[in-house]
Structure 1
Amino acid sequence: MADLGTPSPPLLLVLCSKSPRELDLSLSLTSKNGTFKLAGVEEEIRVLIQSDVDPGTQQTIETNLYMDALSTNLFGRLLIWSPRLPSTHDLVSQNFCEIPLGAVCVTDLQFKGRGRSKNVWESPPGCVMFSFTLEMEDGRKLPLLQYIVSLAVTEAIKEVCRTKGLPDLDLRIKWPNDLYLNGLKVGGILCTSTYRSKKFNVCAGVGLNLDNEKPTICLNRALKEMSADAGQIKREDLLAAFFNKFEYLFEVFLDQGFQVLEELYYKTWLHSGQKVVIEEKCDGHIENSVVTIQGLTSSGYLLATDEENKKFELHPDGNSLDFFKGLVRRKLE
């Protein structure tokens, strides 16, 4: 008889609620057998509300600390925590219609995370990894959403450092969706969407190095290097600050557009005045031209000018993993 081996332990999802309303939603989710699905996952998915979790189960997230710091009306009020998942983004996107808008999924260890261009994002312990749900109606604004998420991350970290008396971390946004600290990548943003019933169902994800020093740098190590006596950023405080900031910025974005947030965004990104070399084919050979980044166009691409002050919109060519090594330009009238 073949040895079938030891069955894999179930994937545990723990539902945590801000108020009785979210608790009722959690109870409705646990009452449906097989509510949550994950394509390609053979393990059983076990769903519990927090009060039903075995006392012997180690929970690494202090949900009371998180919920006490959360002041939103929608986002983050239902938290789905798991000790390990293939991908928070897959869990949220594949179960979008089952979970309420604004719900967030957080995991300690992610082993099949999703990055840009179908890359796999392997996330070691110490990362802050979460994905959440939202809806949008205006497809013209959809490409700009990743900038709102990025801005909410940088503003949240500023807020946590300020309120906790920590040194300021100079976190920067690298267009279109990476986060940098001291010249090294420290995190990234991923937004995906599907169109259904005249609305865009959006899943937004954030990965951020908080306590893991590898493979590049992490926030708490940077704080310690700035001051040996500096305290540390807690994951719960960072998550709550993010959703507090995001909900406000998202409402402004929907009501007034991205233009009113551009000044704040440009204070945080890396690229104003940056010169970029564009490679273009001309008569069978490659010509290089230099343009200067001025900002963003209304469609969310890079706005640049050449030496004659002509305006161009810069697009990635789709072939390079580094956007700035694969840009093509389109002249603007």
Structure 2
Amino acid sequence: METSSPSTLFLCGKSSAEIEIAKSMKINDALKLPGAGQVSTLLQSEINNFRFDEEPFNVDLFMNSLSTNRFGRFLVWSPRLPSTHDVVSHNFCELPIGAVCVADVQFKGRGRSKNAWESPRGCLMYSFTLQMDDGKIVPLVQYVVSLAVTEAIKDVCDRNGFPYIDVRIKWPNDLYLNGLKVGGILCTSTYKSKKFNVSSGIGLNVGNEKPTTCLNAVLKELSTSSNEFIREDVMAAFFNKFEMLYDIFVNQGFQTLEELYYRTWLHSGQRVIVQEKNEDRVVENVVTIQGLTSSGYLLAIGDDNQMYELHPDGNRFSHPHKAAKELVS
């Protein structure tokens, strides 16, 4: 039923060069939806010809707040989409590197383990493209994306005089505020022509406090003013931060960002129990999380000084070398 009406994609650019790309893509009908979904492609100049039931994404506000050289400068905006991630991954080769797709409402969002959910108004949902040469560091890029989100929120708070909103990273790719999930990251990649094509998706509860909480709900608790986080401002701040952090990551390695990352995540010094089934009994070992391994997994040390590398396993962690081992909080 959802796919019976076409999805409208507005193609927008920050400079004349990106605007020309948008015109060419519209003429050539270049963008497609997976599953043969119908697409209606329009230009930014045509937005004012439409009446929207609710306030749409403000493209001008986003572009005016953006100060990047690459990321976010080509924008695909839709009032309603199945999935922004599907748009960028399905059309990766047609889109310029750094292009972003954002939707006001998303009804087939994607997460880890093939999870899907509907993302209503008030959520900031966007996906963007990047291209990498070194496959060894591709798994680490999700941590740079997560860090850019938390740094962007700090930047918005600083610039607007908001109280500090302490959004934290729950490894590997969730965002938490006051113990509740407010967002998540999804990075997928394909290998083509000796390049890794990475599609990065971000979902963040800016103004929608269901089912957990959102940035504006916490801001309202901390402030007597009526100020609010604005989706366009948060997304522009993200790309401004991400471009800087990504350049450091590619040129100097993730180690340069580790100290900042550890200050932002939830796990430093966290003690957890590893359970190992041994015949008919369960042996428990207490381990303490130390940081990340060079490959991006959790590094932990046991009370017996044994080192553990822990991998994500749904909402838990697992030891990669002994299938019977699980990590429980």
Q: TM-score range by the shorter chain?
A: over 0.9
Query: 1:229-268 to 2 correspondence within 5 Å?
Result: 229-268=225-264
Q: Deviations over 1:232-253 (max 9, x none)?
A: 1111110100000000000100
Distance 2:305 2:4 in 1: 61
The question of whether the paired residues in 2 share the 8 Å contact of 1:137 and 1:200 is answered with yes
Distance 1:220 1:80 in 2: 25
Distance 2:280 2:110 in 1: 38
Tell me the amino acid that sits aligned with residue 36 of structure 1: L
Distance 1:130 1:263 in 2: 27
The question of whether the paired residues in 1 share the 8 Å contact of 2:308 and 2:319 is answered with no
The question of whether the paired residues in 1 share the 8 Å contact of 2:80 and 2:105 is answered with yes
Query: Residue 142 of structure 2 corresponds to which residue in structure 1?
Result: 146
Q: 61-70 or 153-162, which moves further after superposition? A: 61-70
The question of whether the paired residues in 1 share the 8 Å contact of 2:124 and 2:206 is answered with yes
Distance 2:301 2:311 in 1: 14
Q: Deviations over 1:16-70 (max 9, x none)?
A: 110001011101100113x22222254x201111113352333611111111110
Q: Deviations over 1:74-126 (max 9, x none)?
A: 00001110000000000110010111110000001100010110000321111
Query: Residue 328 of structure 1 corresponds to which residue in structure 2?
Result: 319
Query: Residue 57 of structure 1 corresponds to which residue in structure 2?
Result: 51
Identity %: 60
2:97 match: secondary structure:
coil
**CA RMSD between the two structures:** 1.6
**Structure 1 residue 296: Cα displacement:** 0.4
Query: Residue 191 of structure 1 corresponds to which residue in structure 2?
Result: 187
Residue 286 (structure 2) pairs with residue 286 (structure 1): no
Query: Residue 33 of structure 2 corresponds to which residue in structure 1?
Result: 38
The question of whether the paired residues in 2 share the 8 Å contact of 1:148 and 1:250 is answered with yes
Query: Residue 47 of structure 1 corresponds to which residue in structure 2?
Result: 41
When the two structures are superposed, what TM-score results if normalisation uses the length of structure 2?
0.93
When the two structures are superposed, what TM-score results if normalisation uses the length of structure 1?
0.92
Tell me the amino acid that sits aligned with residue 31 of structure 2: F
Query: 1:2-41 to 2 correspondence within 5 Å?
Result: 8-33=4-29, 35-41=30-36
Query: 1:70-81 to 2 correspondence within 5 Å?
Result: 70-81=66-77
Tell me the amino acid that sits aligned with residue 273 of structure 1: G
Tell me the amino acid that sits aligned with residue 315 of structure 1: H
Distance 2:321 2:191 in 1: 28
Query: Residue 218 of structure 1 corresponds to which residue in structure 2?
Result: 214
Structure 1 residues 230 and 290: alpha-carbon distance in aligned structure 2, compared to 1, 3 A threshold: farther
Distance 1:281 1:307 in 2: 19
Runs of 4+ aligned residues of structure 1 deviating over 4 Å after TM superposition are none
**Structure 1 residue 286: Cα displacement:** 2.2
Query: Residue 327 of structure 2 corresponds to which residue in structure 1?
Result: none
Q: Deviations over 1:142-162 (max 9, x none)?
A: 111100000000000000000
The question of whether the paired residues in 2 share the 8 Å contact of 1:13 and 1:48 is answered with yes
Distance 1:200 1:295 in 2: 26
* Gaps in structure 1 of 5+ consecutive residues: none
Distance 1:45 1:211 in 2: 28
Tell me the amino acid that sits aligned with residue 40 of structure 1: G
* Gaps in structure 2 of 5+ consecutive residues: 323-329
Query: 1:292-311 to 2 correspondence within 5 Å?
Result: 292-311=288-307
